[in-house]
Structure 1
Amino acid sequence: MDFKLLMVFVDQDRTEAVLKAAREGGATGATIINNAQGQGLKPHLTFFGLEFMASRSVILILAEARRSESVLKAVTAAGKLDETLDTGIALELEVSKTVGLTEHIKALSEKHPIK
């Protein structure tokens, strides 16, 4: 079975909506890294002149390859990801090997057949 890794970077207040949409799009689970920080094109300065970096979530979704397109579309809509600055991003990576997924693949095949 082939897999893709979806990485979604969103403001923390959108995390639950993205997770719900991912499940509805065909994902069977996710790993969430909270309180991630990063920098964009322009620094956001506070009134003290210090850079403000809002907390973001990094959501990692290992999706069966045939489902990845529908999951990506769902999380893009739920996370309100568009091409403007500061909305967050999502990306998809090819997964060449996996370990520890034998039971997951069996359950995925039985309970969630591809339609």
Structure 2
Amino acid sequence: MFEVKCIVAIVERGKADKIVNRAKMAGATGATIVYGRGTGESEIIKFLNIHIEASKEIIIILTKIDKYRPIFDAIIEAGRLKEPGTGIIFTVPVTNLVGLHHREMFEE
């Protein structure tokens, strides 16, 4: 059995396609992009007096646990995620995976 890690990045609207392209160059075989809206914007404005766009794109990538790091790093670089207000990224271990039709990409 193989171990899978899920990379989740929440970025500014309009940035996901560029970020996913960089992730693919780093080894990602695909991604899912969903749209969302952040709720912390009014709190940031109160405390830091900066505007952060409420519309977000959420990038979800599944990868083998031993291959995730270059993809993770490419997303950080492409999305400039170390800069304040550009987004966040985190990983989640995946268990009970069902329905992945491209499982052979994980079974090398």
Percentage identity across aligned positions?
Answer: 30
- Distance in structure 2 (CA, Å) of the matches to 1:53 and 1:27: 27
Deviations 1:46-83 (A, max 9, x none): xxxxx985311001111111111111001010011015
- Distance in structure 2 (CA, Å) of the matches to 1:37 and 1:104: 30
CA 1:83–1:53 in structure 2 vs 1: closer, same or farther (change >3 Å)? Answer: closer
**Greater Cα radius of gyration, structure 1 or 2:** 1
Give the drift of 1:105.
Answer: 2.1
- Name the amino acid aligned to 2:19: V
- Distance in structure 2 (CA, Å) of the matches to 1:13 and 1:28: 21
- Distance in structure 1 (CA, Å) of the matches to 2:68 and 2:106: 15
On the 8 A contact 1:3/1:64 being kept in 2, the answer is: yes
Q: What count of residue pairs does the alignment treat as equivalent?
A: 102
By percentage of residues, which structure has more strand?
A: 2
Q: Return structure 1 stretches of 4+ with deviation > 2 angstroms.
A: 39-45, 51-54
The runs of 5 or more residues in structure 1 that have no matched partner are 46-50
Name the counterpart of 1:89: 88
Give the drift of 1:26.
Answer: 0.9
| TM-score, L = length of structure 1 | 0.76
SS at match of 1:13: coil
- Distance in structure 2 (CA, Å) of the matches to 1:109 and 1:33: 23
- Name the amino acid aligned to 2:92: L
| TM-score, L = length of structure 2 | 0.80
- Distance in structure 2 (CA, Å) of the matches to 1:109 and 1:94: 14
- Distance in structure 2 (CA, Å) of the matches to 1:67 and 1:52: 32
CA 1:78–1:67 in structure 2 vs 1: closer, same or farther (change >3 Å)? Answer: same
On the 8 A contact 1:5/1:92 being kept in 2, the answer is: yes
